[in-house]
Each structure stands twice: as structure tokens, then as C-alpha cells.
Amino acid sequence: MNVIQMLVLACLLLGGCAAKGTTVVLLEDPDGKVGKVSVTTPAGAQKLDAPRQSTHIEKKESAPSVVTIMEQKAIDRDFGQALSAMPTPPQTFLLYFEQGTTSLTPDSRLQPARILAAIRERVSTDVRVNGHADRVGSNDKNMRLSLERAILVRDYLVGEGVEASIIQAFSHGEGNPLFPTADGVSEPRNRRVEVLVR
Amino acid sequence: MRLSLSIILAILFWVGNALATGTVAGHVKTLNGQVQVQRGAIYTPASLGQPLFIEDIIATGQNSTVGIMLEDDTLVSLGPGSRLELKDFAFDPSTETFGMALRLLKGSFAYMSGVIGRMAPEKVSVETPDAVISTHGTRFLVKVEERQ
């Protein structure tokens, strides 16, 4: 047994010799998809394209190592704290309105409180409120209506203590439908306010 | 003595703000323990919700972590004993201007792609002292152990 083999064995037995240099590990996305990562040094490159595939680079003069699979236990040990600090991804909320009005549909009446909870939970500093209308009535009327819908939601949030400066409200009128229709058609799914909480 | 100290602090605060007029790259979203933001020669303790700018260096102490949301919804976080530089960032979908360069100088790091990673993955790079990592819309981890 040579010195290097002994060192490797010692590391394995002790379970945690920190290898000097850079280690890269690919994970699957929260939705289960798996992307690709390539790792390059002046001496070579390595591709990772399956979950928990890993490569190690000792120094920049050396090429990335052959791909190995990192055990979940090792991922938890080396990256558990970083992973636990990941922010919550931005969240989108939809609120629907009765025909031609700024009255929320019964199903949407709990949404404002949920939006408020999301803003507080993630300490949001960026909330975007986008008002929309369907194609009943004129363009101008729908521009005004979708603005009033957006402002209704914004005013609720400000009234509950959300800092006004973190909220941006936009009016899209009938020009940005989720479900495109002919002019004059009543479409409940387009009479909406979309709120993005970042 | 107390007065002069508060004046000095006020000046430091003013200089910090004056330097902070660059491009906002992201915001601090999670914070645990000792985390510092280095802007030029000035170090300030990080606070929840604070904006971060291009060229800021974020450093975590022992048993400390930080989570950052960049303006394109990219999420990154640091484990204890880490240093990350926001080397470059550009995000303007209306003119299709995209760019992101992060440097992990040491420690542990988790990354999840945002809009730039989906729309222009070739514009995203994560450097370490040893290697350059490029990505196609995904989640990955990086660890840098310094040589003594």
C-alpha cells in the first residue's frame, strides 16, 4: 500500500477529509427535471447531466476528475446548510373578478390574505400587481377597469401595512389574455389580477 | 467622543449609500448568523431585504448562512465560511440584455436558475479559483476548499 492509498483509506475511514480545490454537484430541479452543467479548467472539461453527478478539480492546472455520484449523506454534510438557506422561489397569485366590476369572485376572496401572508413570510421587497380585463366593452374602458382592479389589490395590501414603495401596479387592459377570445366575448379567466410576490 | 463617533458612522453610512447607486443585482432573502457585505473597502453587516449591487462580496461566518434572490429570480445561497462575489449582472428582458458572473472564492454554494438561465444560459458563469462552471437551466452545488 503506497502513501496515497493509505491517505485515501484514512479519509474514507474518518469520513471527511476535505479535498482541496473545487467540487461541483448537479441536482435535479424541484420539478424533477435535470439540467446540465459543464465544468472547465485550462486543462480540460467535464459534463454533469444526471442527479448527484459530481466532479472535483484539485487546481486549475488539472483537468476535472472523472464523474462520480455523490452520496446523499455527503451532500447533506457538505451542502446541507447552504441548501437550507435557499430563498423561497417567487410566487404567483391569481384573483378573478365579476363581469365589468372590481368585485372579486367568491372563490378569489381568500386570495388577498394569502398574498399578504406570502409577502410577510418571505420578507418580500418586490410585489408586482398586474390588472387585466376580458374583451367585453371598449379598449379604453377595459384599460381603466384593469387599472382599478390592480389598484384595489394594491390598496388592500398597503392598508394591511405593506410598504407602498415595494408594490408596482400595472394595467394591461384586454391586451394580455390568458385565454385569447374574439372581441366582445365574456371570459371569466381573463378578468383577473396577477400578483407576483418576489 | 460619542458625538464624533456618530458623525463618523453617519459619514460612513452616507458614503456607503453614495457607493450603492450602481445596478441592483439582487436582495438578501434569508439570513442566519454573521454575514457581511463588502462594498469597496467598507464592510457592513447584511440585513434581511437589503439590496446587493454588482461587485459586492458577501461573506458568511462560522455556522452562518445567507440566501439571495437575484433580479431575474435566480436563487443562490451560501453555507458557513463562504465568500461570493457578484462580479457582473445585467437583466433587461425588453432589450434582451442578459449577463451573470458569480465568483465563489471559498466555501459552499447552492444555485438555482432564474430567467437568465432559461433564456440565455450561455450568459451565466460561476467561477471558482480552480474552474469555470456553465449551466443549462438547473440546480447545482459548488464547494471550494482553500489550499493551506
Rounded to two decimals, the ipTM of the complex is 0.84
Min distance B56 CA to chain A CA atoms (Å): 19
| A71: Cβ contacts below 8 Å, ≥ 6 apart | A52
- Look at A26-35, A94-103, B126-135 and tell me which has the smallest mean pLDDT: A26-35
Instruction: Note the pLDDT tens digit of each residue in A73-104.
Output: 999 999 999 999 999 999 999 999 999 999 99
Give the pLDDT confidence of B76-111 residue by residue, as tens digits: 999 999 999 999 999 988 788 999 999 999 999 999
Residues 6 or more apart whose Cβ sits within 8 Å of residue A197: A90, A91, A92, A93, A115, A118, A119, A122, A124, A126, A127
CB contact under 8 A, A82 and B82: yes
Which residues in B lie closer than 8 A to residue A38 (C-beta atoms)?
Answer: 133-135
Backbone angles phi, psi at A159, to 5 degrees: -60, -30
Verify whether the Cβ–Cβ distance A64 to B67 is below 8 Å: no
**Chain B contacts to A (CB-CB under 8 A):** 27, 29-30, 32, 48-49, 51, 63, 65-69, 73, 75, 77-80, 82, 108-110, 112-113, 128-147
Task: Tell me which long-range contacts A10-17 makes (C-beta under 8 A, separation of at least 24).
Answer: A16/A77
